[in-house]
Amino acid sequence: MKEVKQNTQWHSAINSGIRIELEEYASDLQFEEEHKLGTGSKSIDLLIRKRVGAIIDKNIGRIFRGHNLFEVKGMTDYISINSFYQACGYGLFYKANTPLENTIAIDDITFSFVTKQMPHKLIRHLEEFWGLHCIQYEQGIYYLNESRIPIQFIISSALDPRDNLWLQSLLNPISSQSANRLLLDYQKHRGDCNYEDVMQQIVKQNQEIFREENGMCQALDEIIEEAVQKRAEKRWEEGREKREKYWAEEEKKWKMSMEEKERKWEMRLAEEKKKQEKKKQEKRLAEEKKKQEKRLAEEKKKQEKRLAEKKKEEQKRWEKEKEEQQKCWEEEKKKRLAVLENECKMRLEAEYEKRLKDEVQARLKELGADI
């Protein structure tokens, strides 16, 4: 945990040192520390966006394009092969994490690695695997030759104090001359948080140099006193923020508790109302059902009565039709019997006449034979 805190302090101081080195071009540059990537905990140490068309004539910024990503390492840290690829991966994720296609052009990105010593192991790996050669561009600044994406290494121990006083002094032992220059420059920018952050780290690493002469010792005491006062103010401010945060959280909890109680009460009232409505609905439905049953019973009774009357009428009509049919049948029967009787009579008469005629003829024949 202590190491993480120290790294965070070094990151903040180095980022402030880079701001100091580029303060002449501050109007053309936008600085953003710990730029978050997505919704996770991954972040870019320092992101510097350059205004379109701006020219940065500073040794550490001549490589700049639209989006410039910095990976910084503190006093005891170094750029390993893994940390190099991690920073490049973050940069590619930054390029791709945009709402529209190719919003950030790949040739508008640069990588800068700030470290105290030259990362020889990484340089050998890049030469052997990628065929990229590290070429010195200026004192303490190296470019990766033939890289499609511009990449530079800023080696603080090799920087010229005349060009990069604050960044060079931050990670390396300083001389009395550099200490005097730092104090004079600091006096001009007293109250600037960037100078204060860097100066405090430099003083921590070089207290003996600042105590060699009374003038510098007095200035050192002032710086330390300012740092102590600032730290006390910061602690008080942090305590105030914590207290405010605590009471804000308590108020939030109380509000949430009250809202929860109100919500439960409203839910209970809604349930009671729902139950009452349900009871009313059930009562209304029961009454409606009772009325419906009564109406159905009456309708059934009326229907049965109508059916009985209709059945009675049908029975009467059927009996009447039966009587009429019986009467018609009797008349038809009489007519048929009369016709049949007449036919039988006529047939009998015809047979009788024929038989009589036959007998007469037969008798006449017999008589003729006798004569």
| 341 burial level (CB within 10 Å; 0-12, 13-18, 19+) | exposed
Query: Strands, E, within the chain: which ranges?
Result: 29-36, 43-50, 67-72, 109-115, 133-138, 141-145, 151-155
> So what's the pLDDT on residue 227?
57
pLDDT at 140: 95
Task: Write down the pLDDT at residue 77.
Answer: 87
What are the beta bridge partners of residue 134? 144
Enumerate residues 6+ apart whose C-beta is below 8 A from 101.
none
Closest CA to 150 of 128, 172, 124, 132: 132
Phi, psi of 43 (to 5 degrees): -155, 160
- Write down the pLDDT at residue 189: 85
Between the alpha carbon of residue 130 and those of residues 111, 148, 150, 295, the distances in Å are: 16, 11, 14, 96
The CA-to-CA distance between both ends of the chain, in Å, stands at 176
pLDDT for the residue numbered 3: 46
Render 219-278 in DSSP notation, one character per residue. Answer: HHHHHHHHHHHHHHHHHHHHHHHHHHHHHHHHHHHHHHHHHHHHHHHHHHHHHHHHHHHH
pLDDT the model gives residue 221:
59
Task: State whether residue 111 is helix, strand or coil.
Answer: strand
What's the pLDDT score for residue 2? Answer: 43
The segments of the chain whose pLDDT lies below 50 read: 1-5, 214
pLDDT of residue 214: 47
Query: 49-82 pLDDT, tens per residue?
Result: 999 999 999 999 999 999 999 999 987 889 999 9
So what's the pLDDT on residue 348? 85
Spatial contact of 165 and 184, defined as CB atoms under 8 Å apart: no
Measure the CA–CA gap between 314 and 18, rounded to whole angstroms.
Answer: 115
Which pLDDT value is given to residue 232?
A: 54
Q: In the prediction, which pLDDT does 1 show?
A: 38
Distances (CA, A) of 276 to 153, 271, 273: 78, 9, 5
Secondary-structure percent of the chain, ordered helix, strand, coil, rounded to 5 = 70, 10, 20
What pTM value is reported for the model? 0.60
Measure the CA angle with vertex 217, ends 213 and 221; round to 5°.
Answer: 175
Task: List the structure tokens of 152.
Answer: 């530079």
The length of the chain in residues reads 371
